[in-house]
Structure 1
Amino acid sequence: MAASAEELKCDTQALSDRVQPLLTDLYQFTMAYSYWKCGKANDSAVFEIFFRENPFGGEYALFAGLTDCLQFLSNFQYTQEDLDYLESVLPCTVEKDFFEYLKTVDASEVALRSVPEGSVVFARVPLIEVQGPLLVVQLLETTLLCLVNYASLVATNAARFRIAAGPDKKLIELGLRRAQGPDGGLSASRYSYIGGFDKTSNVLAGKLYGIPVTGTVAHSFISSFNSMVDVKPRTLKPATGDKVADLVSLCENLLPYVCHLLKVPLERLNQGELAAFISYAISFPKNFLVLVDTYNVMWSGVPNFCTVALALAKLGYQAVGIRLDSGDLAQQSVVIRRIFQTCSIEFQFPWFMSLSITVSNNINEKSLLQFNQQENSIDVIGVGTHLVTCPLQSSLGYVCKLVELNGSPRIKLTEDTNKITLPGRKTVYRLFDASGHCFLDLLALKDEPSLVVGQEVECQMLGKGEGSVRIVVSRVETMHQDYFREAKICSPLPSVMDVREYSQCSLLMLGEEHKRLSKPKPYKVAITEKLYRLLNNFKIANGSSHI
Structure 2
Amino acid sequence: MLREYTAQPLLTDLYQFTMAYGYWKCGREQTNAVFELYFRENPRGGEFTIFAGLQDCLLFLSKFKLREEDVNFLRKVLPPTTEPGFYDYLRNIDTSAVTLRAVPEGSVVFPKVALLEVEGPLAILQLLETPLLTLVNYASLVATNAARFRLAAGPRKRLLELGLRRAQGPDGGLSASRYSYIGGFDGTSNVIAGKLYGIPLFGSMAHSYITSFTSMSEVKVQTLKPASEGEPEVNFVSLCEKWLFQVCHLLQMPQNRTNSSEFAAFISYAMTYPGHFIALVDSYSVMSSGVPNFCAVSLALHELGYRARGLRLDSGDLLEQSLRIRGCLRTCANQFGVSWLAAVPIIISNSISLNDLIDLQQQDNEVDCIGVGTNLVTCPLQPSLGCVYKLSQVDGKARVKVTEDEGKMTLPGKKAVYRLYGPDGSPFLDLLTLLKEPEPKANEEIECHALTRREAGFRVTAARVGTLHQVYYQHGQLSESLCTTSEIRTHAQNSLDNLAPKHKHLQDPVPYQVAISRKLRDLLNDLIKKSNPSTQCPE
Query: Does TM, scored on the shorter chain, surpass 0.5?
Result: yes
Shift in Å, 1:99: 0.6
Shift in Å, 1:87: 0.5
Q: Which residue of 1 aligns with 2:239?
A: 250
Shift in Å, 1:235: 1.0
Cα distance change on mapping 1:205 and 1:133 into 2, 3 Å: same
Shift in Å, 1:242: 3.2
2:500 corresponds to which of 490, 511, 524:
511
The 8 Å contact of residues 417 and 546 in structure 1, kept in 2 or not, is answered as: no
Matched, 1:115 2:103: yes
Q: Which residue of 1 aligns with 2:193?
A: 205
1:312-323 to structure 2, matched below 5 A, reads: 312-323=301-312
Give the SS at the match of 2:457: strand
Cα distance change on mapping 1:464 and 1:275 into 2, 3 Å: farther
1:280 corresponds to which of 269, 273, 277:
269
1:86 corresponds to which of 62, 66, 74:
74
Measure, in 1, the Cα distance between the counterparts of 2:79 and 2:461: 58
Shift in Å, 1:474: 2.1
Matched, 1:302 2:291: yes
Q: What do you get for the CA RMSD once the two structures are aligned?
A: 1.1
2:363 corresponds to which of 364, 374, 378:
374
Give the SS at the match of 2:441: coil
Q: Which residue of 2 aligns with 1:233?
A: 221
Measure, in 1, the Cα distance between the counterparts of 2:475 and 2:321: 59
1:270 corresponds to which of 259, 266, 273:
259
The 8 Å contact of residues 187 and 200 in structure 2, kept in 1 or not, is answered as: yes
Q: Which amino acid aligns with 1:141?
A: E
Cα distance change on mapping 1:260 and 1:365 into 2, 3 Å: same
Matched, 1:147 2:135: yes
1:127-206 to structure 2, matched below 5 A, reads: 127-206=115-194
Measure, in 2, the Cα distance between the counterparts of 1:347 and 1:317: 15
Shift in Å, 1:545: 4.5
Give the SS at the match of 1:103: helix
Shift in Å, 1:542: 2.1
Shift in Å, 1:473: 2.9
Q: Which amino acid aligns with 1:421?
A: T
> What TM-score comes out, normalization by structure 2 length?
0.98
Give the SS at the match of 1:439: strand
1:69 corresponds to which of 29, 34, 57:
57
1:44-91 deviation line (CA, Å, top 9, x unaligned) = 000000001111110110000000000000000000000000101000
Give the SS at the match of 2:92: coil
Q: Which residue of 2 aligns with 1:326?
A: 315
Matched, 1:497 2:486: yes
> What TM-score comes out, normalization by structure 1 length?
0.97
Q: Which residue of 1 aligns with 2:342?
A: 353
Shift in Å, 1:349: 1.0
Cα distance change on mapping 1:528 and 1:489 into 2, 3 Å: same
Identity %: 57
Cα distance change on mapping 1:386 and 1:527 into 2, 3 Å: same
The runs of 5 or more residues in structure 1 that have no matched partner are 1-6
The 8 Å contact of residues 42 and 110 in structure 2, kept in 1 or not, is answered as: yes
Q: Which residue of 1 aligns with 2:17?
A: 29
Give the SS at the match of 1:467: coil
Shift in Å, 1:471: 1.2
Shift in Å, 1:546: 6.7
Measure, in 2, the Cα distance between the counterparts of 1:206 and 1:536: 51
Shift in Å, 1:462: 2.3
Give the SS at the match of 2:320: helix
Q: Which amino acid aligns with 2:44?
A: F
Shift in Å, 1:465: 8.9
Q: Which amino acid aligns with 1:501?
A: T
Measure, in 2, the Cα distance between the counterparts of 1:249 and 1:471: 74
Q: Which amino acid aligns with 2:342?
A: M
The 8 Å contact of residues 333 and 341 in structure 2, kept in 1 or not, is answered as: yes
Shift in Å, 1:463: 5.1
Measure, in 1, the Cα distance between the counterparts of 2:536 and 2:137: 31
Q: Which residue of 2 aligns with 1:3?
A: none
1:94-142 deviation line (CA, Å, top 9, x unaligned) = 0111111111100000000000000000011111100000011110110
The 8 Å contact of residues 423 and 462 in structure 2, kept in 1 or not, is answered as: no
Q: Which amino acid aligns with 1:300?
A: S
Cα distance change on mapping 1:275 and 1:89 into 2, 3 Å: same
The 8 Å contact of residues 245 and 255 in structure 2, kept in 1 or not, is answered as: yes
Measure, in 2, the Cα distance between the counterparts of 1:290 and 1:421: 55
Cα distance change on mapping 1:152 and 1:512 into 2, 3 Å: same
Cα distance change on mapping 1:463 and 1:206 into 2, 3 Å: farther
Measure, in 1, the Cα distance between the counterparts of 2:417 and 2:432: 5
Give the SS at the match of 1:279: helix
The runs of 5 or more residues in structure 2 that have no matched partner are none
Q: Which residue of 1 aligns with 2:39?
A: 51
Measure, in 2, the Cα distance between the counterparts of 1:464 and 1:117: 30
Q: Which residue of 2 aligns with 1:4?
A: none
Q: Which residue of 2 aligns with 1:400?
A: 389
The 8 Å contact of residues 49 and 126 in structure 1, kept in 2 or not, is answered as: yes
1:220-244 deviation line (CA, Å, top 9, x unaligned) = 0000001100102111101113311
The 8 Å contact of residues 462 and 524 in structure 1, kept in 2 or not, is answered as: no
Q: Which amino acid aligns with 1:424?
A: G
Measure, in 2, the Cα distance between the counterparts of 1:503 and 1:467: 34
The 8 Å contact of residues 47 and 110 in structure 2, kept in 1 or not, is answered as: yes
Measure, in 1, the Cα distance between the counterparts of 2:304 and 2:195: 33
Shift in Å, 1:452: 1.5
The 8 Å contact of residues 453 and 521 in structure 2, kept in 1 or not, is answered as: no
The 8 Å contact of residues 164 and 373 in structure 2, kept in 1 or not, is answered as: yes
The 8 Å contact of residues 154 and 387 in structure 1, kept in 2 or not, is answered as: yes
Q: Which residue of 1 aligns with 2:376?
A: 387
Shift in Å, 1:180: 0.3
Give the SS at the match of 2:380: coil
Measure, in 2, the Cα distance between the counterparts of 1:362 and 1:465: 45
Measure, in 1, the Cα distance between the counterparts of 2:536 and 2:374: 44
Q: Which amino acid aligns with 1:176?
A: L
Measure, in 2, the Cα distance between the counterparts of 1:216 and 1:124: 44
1:174-194 deviation line (CA, Å, top 9, x unaligned) = 000000000000000000000
Give the SS at the match of 1:393: coil
Measure, in 2, the Cα distance between the counterparts of 1:464 and 1:223: 65
Measure, in 2, the Cα distance between the counterparts of 1:67 and 1:338: 47
Shift in Å, 1:464: 10
Give the SS at the match of 1:443: strand
Q: Which residue of 2 aligns with 1:415?
A: 404
Q: Which amino acid aligns with 1:244?
A: E
1:387-444 deviation line (CA, Å, top 9, x unaligned) = 0000110100000000001100001001111110000010000001111110000000
Q: Which amino acid aligns with 2:162?
A: L
The 8 Å contact of residues 225 and 275 in structure 1, kept in 2 or not, is answered as: yes
